[in-house]
Amino acid sequence: MPLRKWAASFRHAFEGLLDAYRSQRHMRVHFFFMVLNGVLAMVYKLNAVEVAIVTICVALVVFAEMVNTVIEAMLNIVCETYHPITRFAKDVAAGGVLVTALNALIVAGLIYGNPERIGRLRQVWVTGEYVDASALPRALVMTVVLLLVTITAAKVGRPQASVLEGGSVSGHTAVAFCLATTVFFLVRGEVYCWITTCLAFLVAMLVAQLRLHDRAHRVRTVIYGALLGIAIPLIVFGLLAKPR
């Protein structure tokens, strides 16, 4: 096959992937978990076998979702009215996605929920002591990247929303609470640690209040942003920085 046809085939396949990402909300969730899997694999320092197992499971979920999307689109073209066989086919296809998703959750729980790793995570949160000081800037970079990827993934496909405007997650609130939580880790051991952290969270709450006051977001989306901003640095700093 000529190189031009190979390039055309790849372009069509890539466009199909982008179409599925833009049009299907569940697909955007699956792609976010693919990125999260890559970040956690680096943070957890998984071996090659563990990375391969988790990656295959996540890829199977994405593949099943794409097949489910195709089946639904074809059935909508063939059958414009309700038909029990059409409903049966759609339910079975959705059930296949559910099976692969549950399988991925079980595998991820067994690998990432290792008791030794969870204990290390808890110890870092409590003590805040690190063996390698260089872990802090690396954790900071990973936190920022993961936060931006999460916000972008939540808002792609919404033409009325930019990365930090509108959408299902308040980007301003997420960034503010992420910075406040990061301050908590960066100043651990200092005399004014708790004062600095409280001031940082106070500023974050003011940002959240302004988003509500300007009616840019609802209470639900502001809460989602705050939880996202707190959870990401807790996980990344807790896992990347080894305690003494």
Residue scoring higher pLDDT (179 or 81): 179
pLDDT of residue 136: 65
Identify whether the C-beta of residue 179 lies closer than 8 Å to the C-beta of residue 204: yes
- What's the mean per-residue pLDDT of the chain? 77
pLDDT at 64 over 50: yes
Mean pLDDT score, 70-85: 82
Selecting among 15, 50, 65, 190, the annotated active-site residue is 65
The pLDDT of residue 108 is above 70: yes
Q: What is the CATH number that goes with domain 1-113?
A: 1.10.287.3610
C-alpha closest to that of 174 among 208, 136, 210: 208
For 111-157, what is each residue's pLDDT tens digit?
A: 887 777 666 666 655 555 554 556 666 667 667 766 776 666 665 54
**72 is an active site residue:** no
Cβ-Cβ contacts under 8 Å for 20 (sequence gap 6 or more): 27, 65, 66, 69
pLDDT at 149: 66
CA dihedral 62, 64, 69, 72 (to 10 degrees): -170
Render pLDDT for 203-226 as a digit per residue (tens, 0 to 9): 999 988 888 887 777 788 888 888
Query: Mind giving me the DSSP string for 70-112?
Result: HHHHHHHHH--S--HHHHHHHHHHHHHHHHHHHHHHHHHHHHH
Cβ-contact 171, 163 below 8 angstroms: yes
Reported pTM: 0.58
List where CATH 1.10.287.3610 sits in the chain: 1-113
Residue pLDDT, tens place only, 12-41:
787 887 777 777 777 777 777 777 777 777
Give the model's pLDDT for residue 99.
93
* Model confidence band, residue 243 (pLDDT cutoffs 50, 70, 90): very low
Question: How many C-beta atoms lie closer than 10 Å to residue 220's C-beta?
Answer: 11
pLDDT-above-70 percentage for the chain: 73
Q: Given the structure tokens 């939540």, which residue do they identify?
A: 154
Task: Tell me the pLDDT band of 244, cut-offs 50, 70 and 90.
Answer: very low
For Cα atoms 68, 72, 75, give the angle at the middle one, nearest 5 degrees: 140
Q: Rounded to the nearest 5 degrees, what angle is found at the Cα of 232, between the Cα atoms of 226 and 235? A: 135
Q: How far apart are CA 86 and CA 223, in angstroms?
A: 39
